[in-house]
Structure 1
Amino acid sequence: MSIVIMVGQLILGLSILVILHELGHFLAARAFGIKVEKFYLFFDAWNFSLFKFNYKGVEYGIGWLPLGGYVKIAGMIDESMDTEQLAGPPQPWEFRSKPAWQRLIVMLAGITVNIILGIFIFWMLTVRYGETYIPVANAHYGIVPGEIGIKMGLKPGDQIYAVNGVPIQRFDDLTSSNVLLNHSVLNVQRGNQKLNLTVPKGILNDLSDDGIEQFISHEPRTQFMVDSVMVGSNAQKAGLKKGDSIVAVNNNPIRFFDQLQSQLALNKNKAVVLLIKRGSDTVHLTSNVTAEGTIGFSAKRDLVKEDTIKYGFLASLPIGASKAWGTFTDDAKGLGKVFTGDVKFNKAVSGPVKIATMFGGVIDWVRFWSLVGLLSMVLAFTNLLPIPALDGGHSLFLLIEMIKGKPLSDKFLERAQIVGFVLLITLMVFVFGNDIFKQIVKH
């Protein structure tokens, strides 16, 4: 059932983005009196569609190939490669008959809608929920680094008080794009010692495979006690009870939850001796550890207090716009990292399989709309790239035409469209394969 929910959310999210993107092209074309022949969600390759109908001279439908969508604009060389319509003289209702500036607006309209949608979604989420965060000052016991964080020199309990010498206020700033993309220096307090640790340039390569938790956990270090014991688990068989505090594993002192996790991970498929504090008594229990490094209980953790900032309707707009624009600029910085060689291409790209896992197997509308907003900005950025067959490619050719004072030849545009289409298909195949390979390696 979780897979069905995951796929369903993916299809719904992408459908919203594609329909609104293409609606931007559609409305702009109609505003300039340009005829639109088709409006499709997904591609009706070889003229096969799952559903279609005609309304006021436009064919609306759903194709069978779920790789986006399109509007077929009369008199334009696009992914349909319908060059027969260009054989005759230009008609006043065709794309090619309109001034270059009007055609440029039509091409950029889809990207514009995606940007507006992204800003709107983050705006509404801010209006409804405000901003909830953990103040760094409340993380009294410091951080819990993952394997990647430990490799760069971080230790459990470190207090990171600044980044590049600038004090930070929010705990989630530690895993922000500013830290991960900018080769930042973390200013660390470790007991009485102050350290400066530099984030490696290629850290995104590792995070792509292992996840952000392997850098720094999104939750600060916490104390804990046993909340409930799973029926039939090793913990129940050992005699662990609700309210117990585990204070040592194999004589190794335990105070924080991450210390327990580390000790259990070192003893997978082995038996461990637990020192338990139960009221005023201390008890020794022996428990087997599973292959996953667990014994079978839920912890009641001493969670860190969060703060929530509420904004009014209009005050939420710049906050939402900043979040949306931050996604856009992060994509640009990430692409720059690929070109400089700091990030491998196969680590930087993700496709539908990875996106589906981001939506998850349960319905969480806050996460759903947050991802749709993020993906809307990603779609805007991707389509702005100057690649033939993308909106950015068409826009680039129109800008060249405006500079030259005359259009590029139809033959050149046809060939460029073919090259761009082949590049996109190749990229899609690679992305799908890359996603599947990552999932296989992960499991």
Structure 2
Amino acid sequence: MDPFIIKAIQLLLSLSLLIVLHELGHFIPAKLFKTRVEKFFLFFDVKFALFKKKIGETEYGIGWLPLGGYVKISGMIDESMDKEQMAKPPQPWEFRSKPAWQRLIIMLGGVTVNLVLGFLIYMMVLFVWGSNYIGPDDMPRGFAVADQFKEFGFEDGDRILEVDGKEMQNSLDINKHLFMRDIQTITVLHQNGNEETISVPEDIGSVMFQEGVMQPFVPIQYAVVDSVLADKSAGAAGLKKGDSIISLNDTEIGYWHELAPIANENKDKKVELVYKRDGKILSAEVSPDEDGMIGFTSKRDFDIQSREYTFGESIEEGFNYGYWTLHDYVAQFKYVFTTKGATQVGGFGAIGGLFPDGWNWQGFWLATALISIILAFMNILPIPALDGGHVMFLLYEIVTGRPPNEKFMEYAQMVGFFILIALVLFANGNDIYKWLFS
């Protein structure tokens, strides 16, 4: 089956699960506080629904527009903009008639479910599949270091031992930690056998982002092709798994990391790639794209260790994994507000890219956990029309003792809705632009 279809199915299944559970997070406390829920929908039923059935006082259904879902709670100013209902006297079963603390719990329910779900999935994944890691002893050739980082004292062949005085279990995490965490020192083992603790600038993440050095440490490994993307230059040129790269644009290639600088210097140009296959020397013309990508990945030639967890260990480690996932996402969110960061915001295409090309339950659940945590964070942002907007107004009411004016709430809801539509169009527009021109 085509990888695009597999990703699309996984995305639809994941979002359906997360949306239903998110809305249950609102639905259950609403029912506990005897608040009437008029509708419970997966996806939006603009004009019509694919399926609907009324059970008791609630209509359950599936809409045709897969941009989210919703529960319509009586007496609440939400995306339905039911002004007729709001013009009538408040009823005991309506949202607006409940104490502010109950309304706050109802509004926080969806975010809470997404956050807890993400943590629980990570715990489950670690318990069932364990985790993989690559320690410094598993990389005998160490890392190739970007020129910008050599100025700090790092050298090609370095192996990462400690970060801020703590052992680095998975060496491949170093780039992520540098970009999103407040790292101050890195202890390395140089090729000459000497250990050195090197200080890094406080704003190293911003430096990496602005200079485009997102992978300052790349494992040194032989230039052997592992997989080829059919829709990229390498696929069109006939490269196959197992091919050994010899040279690119008349420059000899010994290791994989030596390809990138040459490819970046020849973006959108035709260059000669010489490689070995079954003892024969062959050549082909390739054209690195605007990102300097040729369209193949390297064959990992170092050992990968695995660790299994007891049930108790998986709870602790899963919680830590979830915490740092949320921390890292929040830490990188600041880059969205830069010109460069805005162009990298993605929509459904980017989200779909989180899933594996082939059906893999471990990969599916890891992607679902990440999306769940992202949804929790995005939904709690203080934007009208999001849960966070309702929470913001409820906190105002709790502090001041009076709710915001209903007319103001209606206008705020409309503004928030248009902001969300604009963001959805912008993010998916970025996906389409990248698909058309990359």
Structure 2 residue aligned with 1:4: 5
Structure 2 residue aligned with 1:107: 107
Cα offset, 1:289, TM superposition:
2.9
Cα offset, 1:205, TM superposition:
5.9
* Residues 1:255 and 1:177: Cα distance change in structure 2 (over 3 Å): closer
Cα offset, 1:271, TM superposition:
6.5
Q: Deviations over 1:128-167 (max 9, x none)?
A: 122210002321101245xxx4555477534344445655
* Residues 1:35 and 1:274: Cα distance change in structure 2 (over 3 Å): closer
In the alignment, is the contact (CA less than 8 A) between 2:246 and 2:274 conserved in 1?
Answer: no
Output the CA distance in 2 between the equivalents of 1:51 and 1:186.
57
Q: 2:326 aligns with which of 324, 328, 337?
A: 328
Aligned partner letter, 2:311 = F
State how 1:37-52 maps to structure 2 within 5 Å. Answer: 37-45=38-46, 47-52=47-52
Greater Cα shift, 251-260 or 75-84 = 251-260
* Residues 1:250 and 1:31: Cα distance change in structure 2 (over 3 Å): closer
Structure 2 residue aligned with 1:221: 220
Question: What is the SS of the residue equivalent to 2:75?
Answer: coil
Aligned partner letter, 2:283 = N
Q: CA RMSD in A?
A: 3.7
TM score, norm. by length of structure 1? 0.79
In the alignment, is the contact (CA less than 8 A) between 2:249 and 2:271 conserved in 1?
Answer: no
In the alignment, is the contact (CA less than 8 A) between 1:163 and 1:179 conserved in 2?
Answer: no
Structure 2 residue aligned with 1:381: 377
1:128 aligns with 2:128: yes
* Residues 1:347 and 1:331: Cα distance change in structure 2 (over 3 Å): farther
* Residues 1:412 and 1:271: Cα distance change in structure 2 (over 3 Å): closer
In the alignment, is the contact (CA less than 8 A) between 2:336 and 2:342 conserved in 1?
Answer: no
State which structure, 1 or 2, has the greater radius of gyration over its C-alpha atoms. 1
Greater Cα shift, 151-160 or 263-272 = 263-272
Structure 2 residue aligned with 1:203: 208
1:411 aligns with 2:407: yes
Structure 2 residue aligned with 1:85: 85
Structure 2 residue aligned with 1:349: 345
Output the CA distance in 2 between the equivalents of 1:338 and 1:270.
35
Output the CA distance in 1 between the equivalents of 2:118 and 2:300.
36
Q: 2:283 aligns with which of 283, 288, 301?
A: 288
What runs of 5+ residues in structure 1 fail to find an aligned partner? 228-241, 279-284
In the alignment, is the contact (CA less than 8 A) between 1:249 and 1:275 conserved in 2?
Answer: no
Cα offset, 1:187, TM superposition:
5.5
State how 1:353-368 maps to structure 2 within 5 Å. Answer: 353-368=349-364
Cα offset, 1:95, TM superposition:
0.5
% identical equivalent positions: 40
Output the CA distance in 1 between the equivalents of 2:10 and 2:177.
26
Cα offset, 1:184, TM superposition:
5.8
Aligned partner letter, 1:335 = F
Output the CA distance in 1 between the equivalents of 2:410 and 2:297.
63
In the alignment, is the contact (CA less than 8 A) between 1:137 and 1:169 conserved in 2?
Answer: no
Cα offset, 1:275, TM superposition:
9.6
* Residues 1:277 and 1:63: Cα distance change in structure 2 (over 3 Å): closer
* Residues 1:162 and 1:37: Cα distance change in structure 2 (over 3 Å): same
Question: What is the SS of the residue equivalent to 1:64?
Answer: strand
Structure 1 residue aligned with 2:422: 426
Aligned partner letter, 1:116 = V
In the alignment, is the contact (CA less than 8 A) between 1:187 and 1:197 conserved in 2?
Answer: no
* Residues 1:253 and 1:390: Cα distance change in structure 2 (over 3 Å): closer
Cα offset, 1:427, TM superposition:
0.9
How many residue pairs align between the two structures? 407
Question: What is the SS of the residue equivalent to 1:434?
Answer: helix
Aligned partner letter, 1:34 = T
* Residues 1:290 and 1:410: Cα distance change in structure 2 (over 3 Å): same
In the alignment, is the contact (CA less than 8 A) between 2:256 and 2:298 conserved in 1?
Answer: no
TM score, norm. by length of structure 2? 0.80
Cα offset, 1:41, TM superposition:
1.0
In the alignment, is the contact (CA less than 8 A) between 1:6 and 1:357 conserved in 2?
Answer: yes
Structure 2 residue aligned with 1:436: 432
Q: Deviations over 1:16-49 (max 9, x none)?
A: 111110111011101100000001111112x311
Output the CA distance in 2 between the equivalents of 1:413 and 1:255.
64
Q: Deviations over 1:388-418 (max 9, x none)?
A: 1110110111111111112222111111111
In the alignment, is the contact (CA less than 8 A) between 1:180 and 1:204 conserved in 2?
Answer: no
* Residues 1:152 and 1:48: Cα distance change in structure 2 (over 3 Å): farther
Cα offset, 1:437, TM superposition:
1.7
* Residues 1:190 and 1:277: Cα distance change in structure 2 (over 3 Å): farther
Aligned partner letter, 1:304 = F
Output the CA distance in 1 between the equivalents of 2:250 and 2:38.
75
What runs of 5+ residues in structure 2 fail to find an aligned partner? 227-240, 289-295
Cα offset, 1:306, TM superposition:
2.4
